[in-house]
Chain A
Amino acid sequence: ETGVTQTPRHLVMGMTNKKSLKCEQHLGHNAMYWYKQSAKKPLELMFVYNFKEQTENNSVPSRFSPECPNSSHLFLHLHTLQPEDSALYLCASSQEGGDRVMDTQYFGPGTRLTVL
């Protein structure tokens, strides 16, 4: 719908597992974002990548490891997660930089993660 896809849509994992979330944007944008959405809490920005460089890390635990191999793809590698990490993980993209009027962030459908 919005040009941002995420896989898988649902993921159940144990605390000792390693998994990865994938995001792909087809909008030609140069910035990508990971957000965490938990029940009863505002969206929390986790990571920001501009031109494949990480520009923001909002004190995210090291068990979450982002990777941005190019401006169209973004991954979130997960290992030894905790049950409180269960949430909806949203990816977004936008066009940033220079004197442009700031563009809008477009979101993917999210990955619903459950940690057992």
Chain B
Amino acid sequence: AQSVAQPEDQVNVAEGNPLTVKCTYSVSGNPYLFWYVQYPNRGLQFLLKYITGDNLVKGSYGFEAEFNKSQTSFHLKKPSALVSDSALYFCAVRRGSSNTGKLIFGQGTTLQVKP
């Protein structure tokens, strides 16, 4: 069965510091991995995805994520956090061979960036 774990309910960082939001996954076959962000009272916004190729994926708003197959991880990173990055972040996985579009989401991590 597919699953996604985001081990931290909340991550706190100071503005200007690097941030990491962790994600590990379990899926049979090749994974397709995604990060989404949700601001209060809004839907999910797509940040980036890994399908194949370079393990370091760059996305919107200066975010990037590194796919690590041996550790089954896909951590979200940003070199310098902004207060405006404060939001709820979701990692999601899909089995690569699936054609149903079914995404499995983690429970979400709240990122709090303090000035």
Chain A residues in the interface with B (C-beta under 8 A): 1-2, 4, 6, 31, 33, 41-43, 45, 48, 50, 55-56, 90, 92, 94, 96-97, 101-102, 104-110, 112
A–B complex contacts, Cβ < 8 Å, 8 sampled = A45-B102, A55-B100, A56-B102, A92-B44, A101-B52, A105-B34, A105-B46, A105-B101
Closest B residue, CB atoms, query A95: B101
Across the interface, name the chain B residue whose C-beta is closest to A105: B103
Whether A43 contacts B90 by the Cβ 8 Å rule is yes
In the complex formed, the residue of A with least CB distance to B90 is: A43
A102 surroundings in chain B (CB, below 8 A): 32, 51, 94, 96, 101
Q: How many residues of B contact A (CB 8 A)?
A: 24
Docked complex Cα distance between A104 and B45 (Å)? 11
- Known contacts A104-B49, A107-B36, A108-B43; A48 and B101 CB within 8 A of each other: yes
Q: Are B43 and A104 within 8 A (Cβ)? A: no
- Of B13-21, B69-77, B105-113, which binds chain A? B105-113
What's the minimum C-beta distance from B3 to chain A, rounded to whole angstroms? 10
Note all chain B residues with C-beta closer than 8 A to A92.
Answer: 44
Q: Do B103 and A45 have beta carbons less than 8 Å apart? A: yes
Given contacts A48-B101, A56-B100, 14 further A-B contacts (CB under 8 A): A2-B46, A42-B106, A42-B108, A55-B100, A96-B101, A97-B99, A102-B32, A102-B51, A104-B34, A105-B34, A105-B46, A106-B46, A107-B43, A109-B42
